[in-house]
Structure 1
Amino acid sequence: MSEEASTPVSPIERYMARMVAALQRLARSDDPNLTFSRLIDVMGRGSHRLLILVFTLLNMVPGPPGFGGTIAWTTLGIALAMIMRWPIRLPTLIGDRGLPLNLLLKLSERVAVAARYAARFSRPRLRWLTGAAATIPYGVFVIVVSLVMTIPIPFINAIPNVGLCVLSFSMLNRDGLGAVVGVTISLLGLGIAAAAIFGAYELGMAALGIVT
């Protein structure tokens, strides 16, 4: 038996293979048009943790004005559904928005390759931080970070989103240590965002003072 065949596949690799296969089936279908709601249907309306990762990855893709905010609200809704144990359903205003299937497929294929490399460092450990008991704290944290990411101030969302991406990746891979790293990155990003918001407020007040 070869070394590659004997190497166990990590949980994150299985999730990524599932995501790529689902998008490839959609791309080969008679109706390859992709929307937010259809992406959720393809991945499964009960796949909360996987979809949080998918949408944090999507938030790294440049999009038109308002795209990042839509992604943040969608991620928030998925986290709320996860806490409440609801199947994921989006309002029509968000659900009917189109997504670039080919771009998402290429992104997922690259992430699947990256997951194989990341699995060398990220592995199941401290599982109590990623198990069922962590679902509510995880969901609440995602909601809080996502709320901040809905604020339309340029560049403040990047670091919190990277943290959410690391966190969701680690939750799927049952890596408690990685989850701690993801939370730390998000908190750092939130601190920078708070400083940026406070700075914008102070500048605004100073400008009003000059005018008056």
Structure 2
Amino acid sequence: MTNLASDTTSNTTTEDTLHKPSLIEAIEKLAEEAPQEGISLKELTHALGDQAFGAALFILALPCCIPFLYGVPQIVSLPMAAIAAQMVMGRKQPWLPSKFAERKISKEGLEKTAKGGRKYFGWVEKLSRPRLTFLTSSKLERVIGLVLMVFCLSILTPLPSTNTVPGFAVAMVSFGMLERDGLLTTGGLILGSAWIAILLTVGTAGIKLLLGLGG
């Protein structure tokens, strides 16, 4: 009987391990169980458990990936930049100042985030695997954090749909870091860098045009 109980416990533990929810599934469950008034960013990051920076950045970046979703991207962009800054400083766990930590995301916003995660990254979750792992090493984490800061701050650009591309870039990089997928991480860095280059080019051209009109 003792052996049978032991085997049953062992099998249950094995099944729990095998059926451990993925990050996207965890986000879906979080949205489903959230109260109607939503949850704070502090509650959101704590709910992610031990997945630290990658999970926090990924879940905060998801609303930014949704075209024409206004409000939520602007709420999460500065906290995202703060988390990326902590990567640069070499912190082991993300921390948000109370000003950011108490900001709330509504249940509706969470549900849209979960749907966006499944829609845009469900297939990535299936294909992603550890590869080129040196690109996701702790030695490069500070450099990646610095680049992500720029991506996150660009979301605040006051132009239509400017949250979508950098949102995808941050989500790709953070998901790649979680899965130790250097290829996915690099793809996100390239996408975000191209976006920043476009913003700078358009911004420079706009300034020159205004100066020309003023002259």
2:6 match: none
Structure 2 letter corresponding to 1:197: G
* 1:23 Cα deviation from its structure 2 partner: 3.8
Aligned CA distance change for structure 1 residues 102 and 110 (closer, same or farther; 3 Å) = same
2:12 is matched with: none
Equivalent residue runs for 1:1-212 within 5 Å? 14-27=22-35, 33-44=38-49, 47-61=52-66, 62-64=69-71, 67-83=72-88, 84-85=90-91, 87-109=93-115, 111-112=117-118, 115-209=121-215
Q: Aligned residues, how many?
A: 196
Letter in 2 for 1:55: L
CA distance in 1, matches of 2:159, 2:111: 29
Give the letter aligned to residue 24 of structure 1. E
* Max Rg structure: 2
Greater share of residues in helix: 2
Contact 1:48–1:78 under 8 Å retained in 2: yes
Return the letter of the residue paired with 1:21.
Answer: K
**2:63–2:109: 8 Å Cα contact kept in structure 1?**
no
Structure 2: tracts of 5 or more residues without a match: 1-17
Q: What are the superposed Cα offsets for residues 6-65 of structure 1, whole Å, 9 maximum, x if unpaired?
A: xxx7x9x722233333443434xxx8532223322322487211010111112234123x
| TM-score after normalising by structure 2 | 0.75
| Amino acid paired to 2:27 | M
Q: Is contact 1:156-1:193 (8 Å) kept?
A: no
Pair 150,63 (structure 1): closer, same or farther in 2 beyond 3 Å: closer
Residues 207/68 of structure 1: CA separation in 2 closer, same or farther (3 Å cut): farther
Amino acid at match of 2:70: G
Unaligned runs of 5+ in 1: 1-8
Query: Alpha-carbon deviations, 1:157-190, whole Å to 9, x = none?
Result: 4323222222222222221111111111111111
Q: Secondary structure of 1:200's match?
A: helix
Query: Percentage identity across aligned positions?
Result: 20
CA contact (8 A) 1:160 1:188 kept: no
Separation in 2, partners of 1:206, 1:154 = 25
Question: Kindly tell me: are residues 86 and 168 of structure 1, through their superposed partners in 2, closer, same or farther at Cα, counting changes over 3 Å?
Answer: closer
